[in-house]
């Protein structure tokens, strides 16, 4: 039974990845600092659900090298999946420092400890936000040399230091670039859950831009599966995990939620943020060939499951700060 360290375990992707790892028989040690970037009640909800699984949880910030070092001494990890990160394009403009301290220094801390403890597998969560300005569909061969937000720049830096440690110390690294992940218990600052909340509760839905921008929406279970498959030996690889089909416009995403909820959106429009991207679409041929992975959840099914989850947890979600 392999012992996997998962960072960011109270997060949207981290918690689901931990659950699926235990389903596959892995031993999971999970860490998270449970920061208040968004409402901690949702993180506490995920941790309660995770407590039903054989997961050992530690409240640790990956920026805290001493606490991490003690954990690595105590445990013998076979691999590290680093899902701990400060996310959010707009928020990174307001507070870039925390993005670099977490996403870059935190990643460096983990890589140093992997080297010291001879842990040969490192999976790093990255982002499709790096592809800004590139033609779609986005291929991993794109140079991504011009990130347009501090968030994207910090993830690019994390990828770079991961390659450095692969080169110097032969750590096997797989970087997975995620494309607009959505699903039950998602982040309340992201459009899918925020839109569902606004439509269901009859509140104004804040739309930045004209809604014709499109996203390669990818369901959470598919993302968690791809992240686990990324534990396979790779050398050093960057792999897209996205829908891989025609992206959906924000306007059509809103219409799909309206159909599932039976309610009409009240839309309040704001100017398009220049740090946002007009379109994302993943070339997932590499994920198919190297990992044997492709998403199986169609957008209609995924939105339906997310809306159903919202209604089942409406009391919790009505009180969440969006």
Residues with catalytic function: 151
Cβ contact 240:179 at 8 Å: yes
* Half-sphere exposure in the Cβ direction for 320 (13 Å, CA): 28
Which H or E run includes 124?
strand 121-127
Q: In degrees rounded to 5, what are phi and psi of residue 141?
A: -80, -10
Q: Give the Cα-Cα-Cα angle 78, 172, 86 (nearest 5 degrees).
A: 80
- Cα dist. 242→21, 98, 140, 229, 230 in Å? 20, 27, 12, 14, 14
Total Cβ atoms within 10 A of residue 78: 15
């Amino acid at each position: 039974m392999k012992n996997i360290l998962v960072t960011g375990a109270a997060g949207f992707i981290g918690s689901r990845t931990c659950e699926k790892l235990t389903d596959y028989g892995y031993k999971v040690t999970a860490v998270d600092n449970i920061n208040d970037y968004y409402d901690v009640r949702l993180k506490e909800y995920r941790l309660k659900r995770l407590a039903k699984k054989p997961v050992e949880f530690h409240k640790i910030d990956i920026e805290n090298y001493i606490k991490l070092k003690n954990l690595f001494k105590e445990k013998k990890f076979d691999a590290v999946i680093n899902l701990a990160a400060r996310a959010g394009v707009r928020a990174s403009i307001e507070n870039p420092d925390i993005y670099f301290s977490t996403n870059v220094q935190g990643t460096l801390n983990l890589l140093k400890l992997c080297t010291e403890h001879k842990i040969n597998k490192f999976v790093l969560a990255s982002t499709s936000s790096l592809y800004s300005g590139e033609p779609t569909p986005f291929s991993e061969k794109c140079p991504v040399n011009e990130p347009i937000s501090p968030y994207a720049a910090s993830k690019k830096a994390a990828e770079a230091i991961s390659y450095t440690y692969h080169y110097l110390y032969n750590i096997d690294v797989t970087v997975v670039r995620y494309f607009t992940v959505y699903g039950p218990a998602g982040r309340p600052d992201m459009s899918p859950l925020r839109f569902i909340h606004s439509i269901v509760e009859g509140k104004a839905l804040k739309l930045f831009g004209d809604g014709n921008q499109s996203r390669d929406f990818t369901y959470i279970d598919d993302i968690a599966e791809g992240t686990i498959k990324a534990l396979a030996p790779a050398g050093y690889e960057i792999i897209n995990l996205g829908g891989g089909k025609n992206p959906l416009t924000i306007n059509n995403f809103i219409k799909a939620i309206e159909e599932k909820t039976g309610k009409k959106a009240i839309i309040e429009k704001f100017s398009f943020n220049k740090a946002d991207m007009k379109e994302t679409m993943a070339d997932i041929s590499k994920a198919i060939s190297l990992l044997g992975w492709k998403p199986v959840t169609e957008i209609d099914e995924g939105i339906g499951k997310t809306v159903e989850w919202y209604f089942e947890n409406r009391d919790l979600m009505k009180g969440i700060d969006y």
